[in-house]
């Protein structure tokens, strides 16, 4: 049996790995206030960049290895930020659409893909009518849907530019028990469970083919850091440590064990033919 000192040590280690340090715990966290929330800006200094940029290369590879088997030959990525995720698909797509609604990100994406006729860059804030050169067989949303109040309409808008039988791949933060200051700061309307995400997907007329929680250890670390420790900002230096230690261990465990919950909920939804 662990002593109370050992338990505090474990909690402290998890806090150090994920957050900028503990603060005095406040009241239970709730969802973001009502309002017209659209997909997030992901500019150079945005908080969420620290979870998927250069500080988190193993995590980005984890994302890619999870998503890539479900991507066809043409893809629309919603909320591309600076293009860290989409660049991993270079060479395997016939047509790529990258998008964001932050002017800085859109400008950087245009610079990145200047002169590449196989890549289209658009300014996109969901929900919206989407105009692209042609339909795609895959839409990918990495940590975007949780920012959108009318998530069902956003999914319908995406289905309208997806080929019949195509897929919409959704990666969202999981479980309201993990909702904290960080979620509020970056404009999260909610965190999903498999059940709540399935409800939105089905209401949009899509058919879920894959629907599961992932990143079990990340969920535990996030709970200690955000809900118990009150950390509101992921220190990039410590995220790098987390990326080198917890992420590889999580990937190994989840090859053999189906997690009961996780930091993330992953869904692949089919557009009916």
In a domain, 158, yes or no: yes
104-108, 224-228, 236-240: least confidently modelled range: 224-228
In a domain, 171, yes or no: yes
In a domain, 76, yes or no: yes
DSSP state of 102: S
Question: Would you list the DSSP string of 179-248?
Answer: --HHHHHTT-S--B-HHHHHHHHHHTT-EEEEEEEE-HHHHHHHIIIIIIS---S--HHHHHHHHHHHHH
CA nearest neighbour of 234 among 266, 186, 189, 193: 186
Tokens matching residue 121: 């860059």
CA nearest neighbour of 262 among 142, 171, 196, 175: 175
In a domain, 232, yes or no: yes
In a domain, 153, yes or no: yes
Q: What is the pLDDT of residue 235?
A: 60
Q: What is the mean pLDDT of residues 175-184?
A: 86
pTM above 0.75, yes or no: yes
In a domain, 100, yes or no: yes
Supply the mean pLDDT for the chain: 80
In a domain, 11, yes or no: no
Report strand pairing: 74-78 vs 136-142: parallel
Q: What is the mean pLDDT of residues 214-238?
A: 66
What does the alpha-carbon distance between residue 244 and residue 246 come to, in Å, rounded to a whole number?
6
Range of the domain at 217: 45-271
- pLDDT-derived band of residue 31, with 50, 70 and 90 as boundaries? low
- Is the predicted pLDDT of residue 202 greater than 80, yes or no? yes
What does the alpha-carbon distance between residue 173 and residue 140 come to, in Å, rounded to a whole number?
15
What does the alpha-carbon distance between residue 258 and residue 63 come to, in Å, rounded to a whole number?
17
More confident call, 216 vs 155: 155
Centroid of chain to Cα 248: 18
Q: What is the pLDDT of residue 225?
A: 64
Residues whose CB is less than 8 angstroms from the CB of residue 221 and which lie 6 or more positions away in sequence, other chains included: 14, 17, 18, 242, 246, 263
Q: What is the pLDDT of residue 256?
A: 83
Looking at the structure of the chain, the number of domains it has is 1
Q: What is the pLDDT of residue 167?
A: 98
Where residue 113 sits, what CATH number does that domain have? 3.40.50.150
In a domain, 103, yes or no: yes
């Amino acid at each position: 049996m662990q002593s109370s000192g050992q338990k505090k040590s474990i909690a402290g280690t998890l806090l150090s790995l994920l957050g900028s340090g503990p603060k005095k715990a406040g009241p239970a966290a709730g969802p973001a206030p009502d309002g017209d929330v659209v997909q997030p800006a992901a500019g150079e200094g945005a908080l969420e960049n620290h979870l998927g940029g250069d500080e988190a290369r193993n995590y980005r590879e984890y994302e890619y290895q999870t998503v890539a088997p479900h991507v066809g030959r043409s893809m629309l990525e919603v909320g591309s930020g600076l293009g860290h995720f989409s660049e991993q698909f270079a060479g395997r797509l016939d047509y790529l659409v990258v998008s964001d609604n932050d002017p800085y990100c859109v400008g950087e994406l245009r610079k990145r893909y200047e002169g590449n006729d196989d890549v289209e860059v658009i300014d996109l804030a969901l929900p919206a009518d989407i105009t692209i050169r042609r339909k795609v067989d895959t839409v990918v949303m990495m940590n975007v849907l949780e920012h959108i109040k009318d998530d069902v309409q956003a999914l319908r808008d995406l289905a309208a530019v997806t080929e019949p039988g195509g897929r919409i791949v959704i990666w969202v933060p999981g479980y309201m028990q993990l909702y904290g200051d960080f979620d509020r700061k970056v404009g999260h309307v909610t965190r999903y469970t498999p059940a709540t995400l399935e409800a939105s997907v089905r209401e949009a007329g899509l058919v879920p083919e894959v629907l599961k929680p992932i990143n079990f250890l990340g969920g535990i670390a996030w709970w200690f850091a955000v809900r118990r420790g009150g950390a509101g900002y992921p220190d990039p230096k410590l995220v790098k440590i987390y990326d080198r230690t917890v992420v590889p261990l999580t990937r190994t465990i989840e090859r053999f064990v189906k997690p009961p919950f996780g930091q993330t909920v992953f869904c692949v939804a089919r557009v009916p033919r």
